C-alpha cells in the first residue's frame, strides 16, 4: 500500500524554490525503503516514460541524520570544491542547482524543518547508489545525482529525495 501525501505544508513552501531541481515525495507505506523508492521512481516514469530501472543494481548505505543535514563551515569555499565525482551532499543539491539561485543556508534549514516537523534524530536514512536507473544520467554528466530514502519513525512516513540534472 502506498499513500502519496501531496497536501503537506512542505509542498506549499517548496513552491517558493522554483529553481530547485530536487524531486520530493512524501509517502505513507508499510513497504521497505527500496519498494517506496521504486514507487517514487515509477511516479516519475509515468511522466518520463523512457526511464529504465534495474532493481538488481540498487545498493544503499545507511547514514545518520547528522551526515545528511551536515552543513559546511565555509559554504562559499565548499560549494566550489564539489567537483569530485557525482556524489554531492544534500545541502549542495538544494542550494546550488544547475541554474544560479539566491537560496541561502537558512532556506535549506527552514525547508527541512518543515519537512521533518518532529525533529531529525529519529530518522532512518538510506543513501542509494544511482547506477540503477538512467534517470540519473543527466546528473552524472556534471552537476550530481542522488537517491535518498528517509523513514520518519514518529510520523510513520517516508520522504524520498531524487536528484539528477544538468545545465
Please report, for the domain that includes residue 95, its CATH number.
3.40.1000
Taking 90 as the threshold, does the pLDDT of residue 73 lie above it?
A: no
Q: Give the mean pLDDT of 81-107.
A: 79
Q: How far apart are CA 156 and CA 38, in angstroms?
A: 18
Name the domain count of the chain.
1
| Distance from the first to the final alpha carbon of the chain | 36
Q: How confident is the model at residue 167 (pLDDT cuts 50, 70, 90)?
A: low
pLDDT score, position 43: 95
Instruction: Domain of residue 46: give its range.
Output: 2-165
What digits encode the pLDDT tens for the residues 10-67? 999 999 998 888 999 999 999 999 999 999 999 999 988 799 999 999 999 999 999 9
What digits encode the pLDDT tens for the residues 98-139? 777 888 999 999 999 999 999 999 999 999 999 999 999 887
Which backbone phi and psi does 93 adopt, to 5 degrees? -60, -35
* Global pTM value: 0.93
Non-local (6+) Cβ contacts of 57 within 8 A are: 129, 131, 132
Amino acid at each position: 500500500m502506498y499513500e502519496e501525501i501531496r497536501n503537506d505544508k512542505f509542498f506549499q513552501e517548496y513552491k517558493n524554490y522554483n529553481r530547485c531541481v530536487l524531486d520530493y515525495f512524501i509517502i505513507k507505506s508499510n513497504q521497505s525503503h527500496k519498494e517506496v523508492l521504486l514507487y517514487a521512481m515509477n511516479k516519475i516514469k509515468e511522466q518520463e516514460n523512457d526511464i529504465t530501472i534495474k532493481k538488481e543494481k540498487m545498493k544503499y548505505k545507511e547514514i545518520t541524520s547528522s551526515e545528511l543535514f551536515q552543513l559546511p563551515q565555509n559554504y562559499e569555499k565548499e560549494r566550489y570544491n564539489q567537483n569530485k565525482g557525482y556524489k554531492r551532499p544534500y545541502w549542495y543539491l538544494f542550494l546550488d542547482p544547475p541554474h544560479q539561485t539566491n537560496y541561502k543556508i537558512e532556506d535549506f534549514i527552514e525547508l527541512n524543518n518543515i519537512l521533518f516537523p518532529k525533529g531529525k534524530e529519529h530518522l532512518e536514512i538510506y543513501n542509494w547508489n544511482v547506477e540503477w536507473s538512467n534517470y540519473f544520467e543527466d546528473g552524472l554528466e556534471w552537476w550530481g545525482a542522488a537517491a535518498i530514502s528517509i523513514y520518519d519513525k514518529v510520523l510513520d512516513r517516508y520522504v524520498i529525495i531524487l536528484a539528477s540534472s544538468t545545465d
